[in-house]
Amino acid sequence: MKIENAKAQMRKGVLEYCILSVLSDHDAYASDIINKLKEAKMIVVEGTLYPLLTRLKNSELLGYRWEESSQGPPRKYYEITEKGKEFLNELDDSWKELVDAVAFIRNYEQRTD
Amino acid sequence: MKIENAKAQMRKGVLEYCILSVLSDHDAYASDIINKLKEAKMIVVEGTLYPLLTRLKNSELLGYRWEESSQGPPRKYYEITEKGKEFLNELDDSWKELVDAVAFIRNYEQRTD
DNA sequence: TTATAGTACCTTGCAATACATGGTACTATA
DNA sequence: TATAGTACCATGTATTGCAAGGTACTATAA
């Protein structure tokens, strides 16, 4: 369905912004992050999240540590780095500019209706 | 520069939304569209716009007609179709959901600071 | 008439990311 | 020992923004 495809395209670039946001609040492991995003109605699956976390870690925007779990296998807790925080600020600016641009275009269109 | 790359990624999916918005207001040719988007600080170049207009036309979301110009070559005026208007509404909903999701995540993060 | 500038449109291949799919591994419990 | 629940992972596909190089029409200058 074409709108689903458009939604996926709109998520490109925004997901890393959201993940860095979630982690700037507190450290988390993958399942935590998925649940936090789900609360915001940003539905992300593991197949998307793990490669993205790896990419962010490789870019030194995130770090991680292993922690034992009282049940099940050990968990990989991710944390944002200083570099990640700086990048998050830049993403914040970019996102706001984009939202403003879209609002300008949409409001301009509706004003002339 | 990595932030420029992130910006390009954030524009994926959003550009077609903006272009359909611009054209739902009034018909336009490429240069018009580029200028309208520039007013909103959405910088788009021809190499991006022409393939996208072609894709939208092939998806029957847009139609076009040629019009002579008093100076220079003839111009291709694009217009949105009924199907395009319906899709624009769906894109509008999707965009708003995304913006709400991001706001939820960002506000949650700042509330706990 | 020819050459040039301005304007309009176009094609193609590359880079980057979301994600589906299939997989491995650890731990607790039966 | 086998199984269920949970956690993590790799890879290839699909899609779009866009840089780069191109063609073509029209008016104007030479």
Query: Average pLDDT for residues B90-95, to the nearest whole number?
Result: 96
Pairing status of strand A75-80 against strand B75-80: unpaired
ipTM: 0.90
Instruction: Determine, for residues B10 and A95 on separate chains, whether the beta-carbon distance falls below 8 Å.
Output: yes
Residue A111 has pLDDT above 70, yes or no: no
Using a pLDDT cut of 90, give the percent of chain A over it. 87
Query: Average pLDDT for residues B1-24, to the nearest whole number?
Result: 94
Residue A27 tokens, joined: 């450290």
Residue B108 has pLDDT above 80, yes or no: no
Instruction: Determine, for residues A41 and B11 on separate chains, whether the beta-carbon distance falls below 8 Å.
Output: no
SS3 letters across chain A: CHHHHHHHHHHCCHHHHHHHHHHHHCCECHHHHHHHHHHCCCCCCHHHHHHHHHHHHHCCCEEEEEECCCCCCCEEEEEECHHHHHHHHHHHHHHHHHHHHHHHHHHHHHHCC
* B73 CA → D24 C1’, Å: 8
- What's chain B's average pLDDT? 92
Q: Which of A35-39, A42-46, B66-70 has the lowest mean pLDDT?
A: B66-70
Q: Which residue has the higher pLDDT, B113 or B85?
A: B85
Helix, strand or coil for residue B18? helix
Query: Average pLDDT for residues B46-73, to the nearest whole number?
Result: 93
Q: A2-111 — its CATH code?
A: 1.10.10.10
Instruction: For strand D, list residues 46-75 of chain A whose Cβ lies within 7 Å of it.
Output: 46-47, 50-51, 53-54, 69, 71-75
Rounded CA-CA distance A48/B79 in Å is 36
Residue A20 and residue A87 in contact, taking contact as beta carbons nearer than 8 Å:
yes
